[in-house]
């Protein structure tokens, strides 16, 4: 029997990375995971214990040399590893630039040394800032905070390695991924984790502003499918937006989850709408979302106990956690 092709997934113990691991294994790849576990729990990989086609290495991406064995014979590299969230990036910008830019460079150098077939970078739609919608790939870049800047600079590094070293790179700017296994620890962040813990605790859902703001939510398995398509296409040096192309309001999410609500102040620097123009990825990669928002939320509710150990955020603790957000991003300061 021919050996399985090898794929390396950085951040493979994390939210989107773990769904990428599942898809790759199902598609006949042998998978190596590189993750320092700083972003949350490693619950998904436990189901693969004993699988000879999966290996895990718990290290910081910045510590990995270009000639490291983890790159040996790898055909594909999917680079999800990094640190996220807005508020911590405002408070610790050097950490974000170090991990999300220099860490990306370390992975690019390993991929270059080993001669991979494709390097796919997980970029962020936050690079667009307060964008016109639907947002196309040629929209002006206007990062509003260090996280957004660091992810964009990581993307620029990846495209530079393609230009200078002919490394076959593609980049996908993810809009609002959601799904099972989203992070349950760390800083105040994505709306799903906040709401799900509040629902489990019998607390009101904290609605920012009036809840009419909408996000282009795409289910994690659809995100993974898009990344595999970006790896297996002959196209290189390409950037795609990735979303469902069908924004959903926070109020709609609250309706689907159910429960009481409480409103907290709207925050500066947050767009009223995120809406990916997915024409290009549909044309180039024949990508179409498969999981509807209602189905995706239903899947999450079926596994809601996963968020039982998540931090509980309430109006007072949210106000304290986002104080620097208001101080640094307010236009009136």
Element (H, E) at 249: strand 248-249
CB 169 within 8 A of CB 236: yes
Strand partners, 55: 32
Q: Which residue reads 């700083």 in tokens?
A: 38
Say how many C-beta atoms besides its own lie within 10 A of residue 108's C-beta: 24
Q: What does the alpha-carbon distance between residue 145 and residue 118 come to, in Å, rounded to a whole number?
A: 30
Do you find a cis peptide bond into 134, omega within 30 degrees of 0? Answer: yes
Question: Quick check: is 147 catalytic?
Answer: yes
Sign of CA dihedral 133, 139, 142, 143: positive
CB 245 within 8 A of CB 216: yes
Residue 2 CB contacts under 8 Å (≥ 6 apart), including other chains: none
Q: Determine the distance from the C-alpha atom of residue 311 to the mean position of all C-alpha atoms in its chain, rounded to a whole number.
A: 20
Sign of CA dihedral 48, 71, 154, 246: negative
Kind of pairing between the strands at 54-57 and 6-10: unpaired
Strand partners, 242: 174
User: Phi/psi of residue 75, each to 5°?
Assistant: -90, -40
Residue 276 structure tokens? 């990916």
Q: Which residue reads 């209602």 in tokens?
A: 294
Q: Which residue reads 């000879």 in tokens?
A: 52
Within 13 Å, how many C-alpha atoms sit on residue 115's CB side? 1
147, 178, 219, 306: the catalytic one is 147
User: Phi/psi of residue 127, each to 5°?
Assistant: -60, -25
Q: Tell me the catalytic residues.
A: 147
């Amino acid at each position: 029997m021919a050996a399985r092709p090898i794929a390396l997934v950085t951040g493979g113990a994390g939210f989107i990375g773990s769904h990428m691991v599942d898809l790759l294994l199902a598609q006949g790849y042998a998978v190596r995971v590189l993750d320092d576990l700083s972003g949350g729990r490693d619950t998904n990989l436990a189901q693969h214990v004993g699988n000879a086609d999966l290996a895990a290495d718990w290290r910081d991406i910045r510590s990995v040399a270009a000639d490291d064995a983890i790159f040996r014979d790898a055909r594909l590299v999917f680079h999800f590893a990094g640190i996220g969230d807005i508020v911590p990036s405002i408070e610790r910008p050097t950490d974000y630039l170090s991990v999300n830019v220099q860490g990306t460079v370390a992975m690019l150098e390993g991929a270059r040394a080993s001669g991979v077939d494709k390097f796919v970078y997980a970029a962020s739609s936050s690079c667009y800032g307060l964008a016109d919608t639907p947002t196309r790939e040629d929209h002006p870049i206007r990062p509003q905070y260090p996280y957004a800047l660091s992810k964009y600079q990581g993307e620029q590094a990846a495209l530079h390695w393609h230009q200078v070293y002919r490394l076959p790179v593609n980049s996908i700017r993810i809009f609002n991924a959601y799904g099972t296994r989203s992070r349950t620890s760390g800083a105040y962040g994505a709306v799903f984790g906040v709401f799900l813990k509040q629902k489990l605790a019998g607390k009101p859902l904290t609605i920012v502003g009036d809840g009419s703001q909408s996000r282009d939510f795409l289910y994690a398995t659809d995100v993974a499918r898009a990344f595999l398509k970006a790896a297996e296409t002959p196209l290189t040096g390409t950037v795609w937006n990735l979303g469902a192309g069908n924004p959903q309001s926070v109020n709609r999410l609250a309706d689907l989850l159910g429960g009481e609500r409480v409103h907290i102040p709207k925050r500066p620097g947050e767009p009223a709408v995120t809406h990916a123009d997915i024409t290009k990825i549909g044309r180039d990669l024949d990508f179409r979302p498969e999981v509807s928002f209602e189905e995706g939320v239903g899947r999450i509710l079926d596994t809601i106990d996963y968020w039982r150990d998540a931090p509980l955020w309430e109006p007072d603790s949210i106000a304290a956690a986002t104080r620097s957000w208001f101080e640094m991003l307010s236009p009136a300061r």
